[in-house]
Structure 1
Amino acid sequence: MGNLRITGMATGMDTDATIKQMMKPYTMKVDKMKQDRQIVAWKQELYRDILADTSTIKDTYFDNLRPDTNMLSKNNYAGFDVTSNNVIAAQSAGVSAKASVGAVAGSYSVYVDKLASAAKVEGVAINESNAAYLTNSVEGKITFEVGGTKPAVEIIVPVGKNKDELIAYINGEIAGSTSLKGKLIVSAGAGESIKFSALTNDSVKVDSDINMNCMTNLKGKVINPNRYTTKLSDLGIEDGGTLTFDYKDSNGITKKSNPITVSKDATISQLIDAVNQGTSGAVKLNFSELTGKFSMESLQTGSSALLNVTEDGGKGVLTKLNLNAVSTPGINAKVTITPPGIGAVAITVEKPGNTFSIDGVNYTLTQAGTTNNITVTGNSQKTYDKIKGFIDKYNELVDKVSQKIDEKKQYKFLPLSDEQKKDMKEDEIKQWDIKAKVGLLKGDSSLEGMLNSMRSAFFQGVEGAGISLSEIGLSTSPDTTQRGKIIIDEKKLKTAIETRGEQVANLFAKNSTTYSSYSQEASSTERSTRNKEQGIFQRINDILQDYTKATGKKGILIEKAGIKGDTKSFLSEDIIKKDKKINEMIKSLAARENSYYLKFSKLEVAMNKLNSQSSWLTQQLGGGK
């Protein structure tokens, strides 16, 4: 609550008006500081508006996560459409294709002989016996533990049962058992091993002493394991076993893993993760609950793929997983391609993978034994639209920045004080502020530097591109006030895309071979070399990072204005300092004002005393007559 002041009664002075006038030089200083603070805030706002535009360009045209608009990828300069049709309509398509820069338009015939495959280690289903069944010569016993309940249910098998008789007998016993009925079944096709199949989600463990040569791999195992809940001990595995892998990494380098310890308490999923991590993803261990089989395969495909697995510890890990110890080698893809042109000769090639590129056409093989006709058709409009889309956004940025650094300052329009706003309407204040912001960035050296760098990026030649900007129909506006906005000759650019597509891609997207990655710490020599070797849009991306990088060493504009919530930028710190100074000045104003009121109060007291004395004297003089 403010102080209640009764002033001017003795002196007859308008004390409030007098003190307000005395305070005016000091309030003007506060208002000036507030104006300075507002100007800094407006400058920050203008910088951040430009930063938002640069972010839009980077996020749209220089982001690897947006492959369709990423202008640093040469794939976006391929002026082609591709269609693929299987020669035999009843067959599924065996190959798909995309055309990149350097492709030749026309019809291609592609016969897929073989698909590339990885080196593999195949397994036998957990619920199958791994040897032929022989008629039992002695009475045997099979036990079933369902859902972990004990004791297990026993079935006694009489002597002299052949495979079909054994299967019929066991199924009959199951059907007559309250504990087993509807929960599992035994089967075997012609020439197949005996298979135990669970009919519910209950875990089923089988054990037997009958014809052990046949039933060894089933002894003591859960026949329907779940990868996330079944422990390796339920597959008969004991602690102490290890697996070691020989493989090739993604670069084709032969490596040997450290021994991977197999724990009986681990789940199937945890064993899969251990193999994946122990081989850095180069070997994939699989388990299918549908087939009940374990398998392994190499990440690398083709005839040079390598996958050898050895076990140590004498615990028979591979045997208990029903996995073979010997791997099946990978094979190369084999494909016959007839390129466009009259009299073109079919060429058969082998590739280590099912995805590869030949003469600018990227093939993906999906099915062997198929023939596909692939048609590559020129479509310059698609590439033209992408280039033009970037140029339009670039020109908008150049136009905005040029306007900010060229516009004249409106010196008579300063930020309004609180006192001035009291007598103005809201719309009048808004219009005033718009005019007051004009020219705040006039001649800004940082923005001038960014514009000059971007203009230079377009018109400095690109080493090894084999084409110039003028040859593809791009030039600067003859209007010098537009500060290097780019003008496009549509016909000339489309022709260049159709006839010199690879060179157009190099002109815009070529990456430096000497310094392939952007570095803000690069020396001037390294920057110069990288700049000469890379394409125009690569250069623009570097420049935008120089000015707008928000992590690590910050870009020039970020360092100056920061982003919303950033208090570490130069302008943010300046605003904080000014706010502190304003608060100090306001406290000083209050103290000074109170001091003035105190002095006038004393004057009132003195005047009251003087008036009282004057009144007494008047009375005394009047009384003496």
Structure 2
Amino acid sequence: MRVGGLATGMDIDSIVNKLMTAERIPLDKMQQDKTMLEWKRDAFRDVNKKLSELDQMILNMKMSSTYNSKMVSSSNEGAVTASGSSSASNGSYSIEVTQLAKNAINMSTAAVDLDPNTSLKEQGVQEQKFTFTTYNEKGEADTHNYTIQDGETLNQLLKRVSDDDNNVRMFFDDQSQRVIMETTRTGNYNPDGKEIVFYEGSNAFFKNTLNLHMSKEQGGTDAKFKYNNTELELTSKTNDYQLNGINFQFKDVGSANLTVTNDVESSFESIMKFVDKYNEVVETLNESQREEKYRDYPPLTDEQKKDMSEDEIELWEERAKSGLLRGESALSSGLFSMRQSWYSSVDTGGGFTSLTQIGIETSKDYMDGGKLVVNEKDLRDALREDPAGVQKLFSNSDENESRGLVNRLEDSLERTINQIGERAGNDTHTTLENYTLGKRMKDLNERISAFEDRLVVRENRYWSQFTAMESAISRMNMQSAQLMSQFGGGM
């Protein structure tokens, strides 16, 4: 512990602190520079996140379903509904459902005289093994063998059967005191008989213990329907059926007329979401280049923050962070490249070769910085009349003049994202050497560490000098006191 001023009465600690405050001025400047680099790195990464979000949306803009989304209406939704893929042909379809697909189910014919949570053996169940058979997609038999385990309860046994890969589930119903055994899939897989086969003679456990009889099984049927008023009856293992790009869902026995049309609103909304995200990115890049830079507002040091309120700190740092990315070529050139992606025509081989033909153009207000403006009526008309043409305009992976607009934008985005990554890295970069700003931050860290070591040496030297001064003055005081005592004693 350092104690000064005993001999001189001087506040040595305060003097040394003031001296060190002056000595720390270069250190404060380096720490402020480091903070600015960290802020700039984070600002770059925030921009890259928005660019990456737009880049992800381009994946959706490449999909055929974005432009050729289908809407299917049904005259009887209680019987049949449907959804259409982009390959579905527009038109009308008639479906008559004559039978629904059902799963096979069997239930105990009488209450089971067992406690489902007590060991089966304790309740006198002697059967050790039981077997049942199901059928696969080819109608081939799959046999499933089980052995009652020591101490196993009925509920545990039924759960073990249900958990197996056998297309069967079994459970005990507490209210009716019966066991329910059913298939986990609809359809008829055994055209010669039941879906769950167990021969009661060799499987006394089913008959005598669970009161299950194979003859009582119900269900296990395929869906049956007639298509477009023909005599042709089609079947399905489930209550769904894929036909010509349309997925029919059967709800009940009955007839329905279904109409497939282009879902213009769905396609329109998908494109508008993309346009909104693009405009958001353009706004972010423009703001980064228009923000005013306040050079008189450097980052605050810890000492400066002690004398300020939270609101004052927030307002100061808001100005200190303003204009961090202004003049950064990676952003300005990236923004220019993005704008250029929309201007060139596309050789689609069809009627649409430019954005303006489908109602999209860049804003005439220069303050918008190249945002896209949509004429909603024209875009809807284009999607209604020629969705495939709109798709070719936006999406085509060719490397020539046929390359789609979003493919060109994707090229521009990836270049910009990579340039920013080289400058500021990303969240996975933990090593500073991996990006430009990181290298500068590493250099500052080393300089700060070296300077802090020098400050420790400098502070120790000040204390040594003041301590030497105190010691010298203390000795002089002692000598003076001795002389005075001698003079006083002689008198």
Instruction: Indicate the TM-score class for this superposition, using the shorter chain for normalisation.
Output: 0.5 to 0.7
Deviation at 1:334, TM superposition (A): 1.1
Per-residue CA deviation, residues 347-382 of structure 1 (Å, 9 max, x unaligned), is: 8562523223445554211111x1234466766344
Q: Give the secondary-structure state (helix, strand or coil) at the position aligned to 1:414.
A: coil
Measure, in 2, the Cα distance between the counterparts of 1:588 and 1:383: 66
1:364 aligned residue (242, 246, 249)? 249
Question: Displacement, 1:35?
Answer: 0.9
CA drift of 1:28 comes to 1.9
Counterpart among 469, 493, 500 of residue 379 in structure 2: 493
Partner residue of 1:600? 466
**Cα deviation code 1:555-580 (max 9, x no counterpart):** 959993428xx977878999899789
Whether contact under 8 Å (1:304, 1:330) holds in the other structure is no
Aligned twin of 2:214:
324
Match of 1:95 in 2: 80
Letter in 2 for 1:495: D
Q: Is the 8 A contact 1:93 1:366 kept in 2?
A: yes
- Which residue in the other structure is 1:389 paired with? 273
* Alignment map for 1:333-412 (pairs within 5 Å): 333-337=224-228, 350-352=234-236, 353-358=238-243, 361-368=246-253, 370-374=254-258, 380-404=264-288, 410-412=294-296
1:297 aligned to which of 180, 183, 187:
183
1:247 corresponds in structure 2 to 136
CA displacement 1:229-270 (0-9 Å, x = unmatched):
78599795722444565413xxxx788768543325555555
Q: How does 1:248-287 map to 2 (within 5 A)?
A: 248=137, 259-263=144-148, 266-267=152-153, 270-271=156-157, 273-275=159-161, 277-279=163-165, 283-287=167-171
Amino acid at match of 1:5: G
Q: CA deviation at 1:391?
A: 1.8
- Rounded to whole Å, the distance in 1 between the matches of 2:27 and 2:61 is 51
The normalised TM-score by structure 2 is: 0.66
Structure 1 42/309 Cα, relative in aligned 2: closer, same or farther at 3 Å?
Answer: farther
Secondary structure, aligned partner of 2:183: strand
Give the secondary structure class of the aligned counterpart of 2:241.
strand
Query: 1:30 aligns to what?
Result: 27
CA distance in 2, matches of 1:111, 1:31: 82
CA contact (8 A) 2:71 2:261 kept: yes
Q: 2-side partners of 1:277 and 1:558: how far apart? A: 54
- The aligned amino acid for 2:466 is F
Check whether the contact 2:289–2:327 (CA below 8 A) recurs between aligned residues: yes
- The corresponding residue for 2:489 is none
1:302-317 alignment runs, 5 A limit = 315-316=203-204
- 1:43 equivalent among 25, 40, 43: 40
How big is each residue's C-alpha offset from its partner over 1:262-305, in whole Å with a ceiling of 9 and x where there is no partner?
325555555555455543xx613345735946444363647799
Offset at 1:49? 4.0
User: Does the Cα contact within 8 Å between 1:71 and 1:509 map onto a contact in 2?
Assistant: yes
Equivalent residue number for residue 427 of structure 2 = 562
Q: Is the CA contact (8 Å cut-off) linking 1:79 and 1:101 kept in structure 2?
A: yes
How far off is 1:607 after superposition?
Answer: 5.3
Cα separation, 1, equivalents of 2:226 and 2:427: 56
- The answer as to whether partners of 2:61 and 2:406 remain within 8 angstroms in 1 is no
Judged with a 3 Å threshold, the aligned counterparts in structure 2 of structure 1 residues 312 and 408 are, in CA distance, closer, same or farther, namely farther
Relative to structure 1, the CA distance from residue 324 to residue 428 in structure 2 (aligned partners, 3 Å threshold; closer, same or farther) is: closer
C-alpha separation between the residues in 2 aligned to 1:402 and 1:44? 18
Deviations 1:400-451 (A, max 9, x none): 1354367676555422334555676765544442232234335668767986
Distance in 2 between the 1:231 and 1:348 partners?
52
Note if 1:438 corresponds to 2:329.
no
Q: Which runs of 5+ in 1 are unaligned?
A: 64-69, 87-91, 129-195, 198-203, 206-221, 339-345, 513-527, 549-554, 621-625
| Aligned mates of 1:448, 1:347 — CA distance in 2 | 67
User: How far did residue 5 of structure 1 move?
Assistant: 3.0
Query: Could you tell me whether the CA contact under 8 Å between 2:348 and 2:392 is conserved in 1?
Result: no
Cα distance in 2, alignment partners of residues 316 and 612 from structure 1: 115
CA offsets 1:478-528 (integer angstroms, 9 cap, x no match)? 789977644433223211222234665687799x9xxxxxxxxxxxxxxx9
Where in structure 2 are there 5+ consecutive unaligned residues? 487-491
Q: Provide the residue aligned with 1:5 in structure 2.
A: 4
- SS of corresponding position for 1:491: helix
Identify if the C-alpha distance between structure 1 residues 275 and 422 changes in structure 2 by more than 3 Å, giving closer, same or farther.
closer
- Match for 2:128: what amino acid? D
Given the alignment of the two structures, is residue 238 of structure 1 paired with residue 107 of structure 2, yes or no? no
The corresponding residue for 1:151 is none
- SS for the counterpart of 1:601 is helix
**Closer/same/farther in 2, CA of residues 478 and 420 from structure 1, 3 Å limit:** same
Aligned length: 468
What value does the CA root-mean-square deviation take over the aligned residues?
6.0
Q: Any residues of structure 2 matched to 1:30-109 within 5 Å, and which?
A: 30-47=27-44, 49-50=46-47, 53=50, 83-86=73-76, 93-101=78-86, 109=94
8 Å CA contact 2:94, 2:256 repeated in 1: yes
When residues 466 and 359 of structure 1 are mapped into structure 2, their CA distance, relative to the original with a 3 A threshold, is farther
In structure 2, relative to structure 1, the CA distance for the partners of 1:393 and 1:465 (3 Å cut) is farther
Q: C-alpha displacement at 1:602, in angstroms? A: 2.0
Work out whether residues 167 and 183 of structure 2, in 8 Å CA contact, stay in contact via their aligned partners in 1.
yes
SS at match of 1:112: strand
> For the residues of structure 2 that align with 1:272 and 1:407, how far apart are their CA atoms?
69
| Conservation of the 8 A alpha-carbon contact between 1:102 and 1:501 | no
Q: Deviations over 1:196-254 (max 9, x none)?
A: 45xxxxxx63xxxxxxxxxxxxxxxx4xx75x778599795722444565413xxxx78
Change (3 A) 1:113 1:291: farther
* Structural mapping, 1:43-192, within 5 Å: 43-47=40-44, 49-50=46-47, 53=50, 83-86=73-76, 93-101=78-86, 109-117=94-102, 120=104, 123=106, 125-126=107-108, 128=109
Answer yes or no: is the 8 Å Cα contact 2:7–2:474 preserved in 1.
no
How far apart in 1 are the matches of 2:8 and 2:157? Answer: 96
Q: 1:301 to 1:419 in 2, by over 3 A?
A: same
